[in-house]
Chain A
């Protein structure tokens, strides 16, 4: 479903894959092993139709790391320079035939005129919302256990390891959000992450109940750790005021070059 027909979905995916790369680099450093993250696809949902099934989250219990963010973007201007991509932010995109492609993008300078402060028609759009990373409890524990090099079983996983799950979510959320912020050349503020784990029903109910916006963006995140690849069961969910405009901004920026 693409509620914003002008959007080039692959352009958006590119932004989030950059984020995924950043997150993978942080995680690899912590774990001391190669961690790979990628975002294969994007979906849009009406907030009312969000459900665990719709998100392909198959598990009795879900973990939810959530950060509330806010920021301003300038709706009538397009950023006039690209923030530098570091050498290791090579793009890993998975085209539909499943093979891995790693294009390396050189630095490009956009030739758009910059809007100065004197333009009276500019408006600062304030936006805020929730960025959430959802995992099945089983999956997140597997990941945390791998990260800690631990042989503990699910029952033995102590409560303090929930903090680790919170950190895992925080790393991925920050990477995706900062990638978006870089594209828009804006500063985002965010709350510290909160982590809840509960039955799938209760988590999803919480999300739909508190959703203040009609539209949500969902991304599946594939994570490979210690060469153990397991797709699915991690979902990045974004609910934001002005989501449509935000996405249009990003889209114009990425695909217009």
Chain B
């Protein structure tokens, strides 16, 4: 039974280790080349030993890596070659090497000097950084999805489009189930692009915030939501709200925004910021597709625009 200090046992250990180990001497020649490196470089130990890395990888070594090895051998201080800054300094590839498109392994390298009385060496440890990178990417993607799912519109603090879509779907289904009325009010700031052109986008943003606040102040039922539907478009979902009630609320919206008295000299409607509002109501017992309902409220907004803006128009579903 061989002892663990037996050199053959040590060699076995080196060939089992799941990362790259290369030992070079003071002149940069390879003394040790473990199985992992042989496998991923396509260069067997027999061919590697005795040669310098530059000779073995004549096309593959960049200056940073060469400088690092030079420094490790001369100053004998340990060096880290981070994956972030160096990516794949050595030509090592994922297996099988015979695949058509060779993928270079993302590497994380440490150069550790080894000094004994007579000689010095440098141990090059190579770790495959692909797994950590994959993990990072997965986390990044998850966090992006979470951000998207966040339901608040950054600028106005209202529900965002995604939140509206989900809410509307739910309320629509409920209204059908319970045979209860459901109203939508879609509104749009009149001549908003013109406002931006006249007063600048920053001022435009402030108007949107002011409008959003004015709208929010008009709804006080927990089930009613006001959302930012588009750039200058807003939409309110009013469950259990009949057409008359919805039109009244829409008129309150219109009045509240007009009441802000924000100067808009280029507006053809009034000298201040106004909104046009379209209302649509799904009456109890009526049925349609959710998309048709949205289409209807869109049409009623269109009617309001065509009626001269700064007004409310209603369409039955």
Contacts and interface: CB of A to CB of B under 8 A. Distances in A.
Nearest to B140: A158
Contacts of B76: 187-189
Given A159-B136, A166-B82, 14 more contacts: A29-B63, A148-B84, A148-B85, A158-B136, A159-B132, A160-B82, A163-B108, A167-B82, A170-B80, A178-B71, A189-B76, A190-B77, A192-B80, A192-B110
A160 B82 CA distance: 8
Interface in A43-75: 67, 69
B112 interface: yes
Contacts of B110: 192
A161 B77 CA distance: 22
Contacts of B112: 192
24 contacts: A26-B64, A30-B85, A67-B78, A144-B84, A148-B84, A159-B132, A160-B83, A160-B84, A160-B129, A160-B132, A160-B133, A161-B84, A163-B84, A163-B108, A166-B82, A167-B81, A167-B84, A167-B85, A170-B79, A174-B75, A174-B78, A174-B79, A189-B113, A192-B80
Contacts of A232: none
A30 B67 CA distance: 10
Interface in A112-164: 144, 147-148, 156, 158-161, 163-164
Counting from the closest, the 8 A-B pairs by CB-CB distance are A164-B84, A163-B82, A178-B75, A167-B82, A174-B77, A164-B82, A158-B136, A167-B80
Nearest to A182: B75
A148 B108 CA distance: 15
Interface of B: 63-64, 67-68, 71, 75-86, 108, 110, 112-113, 115, 129, 132-133, 136, 139-140
Q: How large is the interface on A (under 10, 10 to 19, 20 to 34, 35 or more residues)?
A: 20 to 34
Contacts of A156: 140
Interface string A173-198: 01001100100000111111100000
Majority SS at the chain A contact face: helix
A124 B85 CA distance: 40
Contacts of B108: 163
Contacts of A191: 78
Query: Which of B76, B77, B115 has the most chain A CB within a 10 Å cutoff?
Result: B77
A161 B110 CA distance: 16
Query: Which of A29, A166, A177, A191 has the most chain B CB within a 10 Å cutoff?
Result: A29
A26 B75 CA distance: 14
A177 B84 contact: no
A62 to B, nearest CB: 19
B122 to A, nearest CB: 13
Given A163-B108, A189-B115, A193-B78, A174 B84 contact: no
A174 B75 CA distance: 8
A190 B84 CA distance: 23
A192 B81 CA distance: 11
A22 B83 CA distance: 22
A181 B86 CA distance: 27
A191 B76 CA distance: 11
Contacts of A67: 77-78
Interface string A12-48: 0000000000000010011000000000000000000
B127 to A, nearest CB: 10
B64 A29 contact: yes
Contacts of B140: 156, 158
Contacts of A193: 78, 80
A167 B68 CA distance: 11
Contacts of A167: 80-82, 84-85
Given A166-B80, A190-B78, A174 B71 contact: yes
Nearest to A171: B79
A88 B110 CA distance: 26
Nearest to B137: A158
Contacts of A163: 80, 82-84, 108
Contacts of B86: 30
A160 B136 contact: yes
A178 B72 CA distance: 11
Contacts of B113: 189
B65 to A, nearest CB: 10
Interface in A183-224: 187-193
Contact of B77 (A144, A159, A178): A178
A3 B53 CA distance: 48
Contacts of A187: 76, 115
Nearest to B125: A192
Query: Which of B78, B86, B113, B129 has the most chain A CB within a 10 Å cutoff?
Result: B78
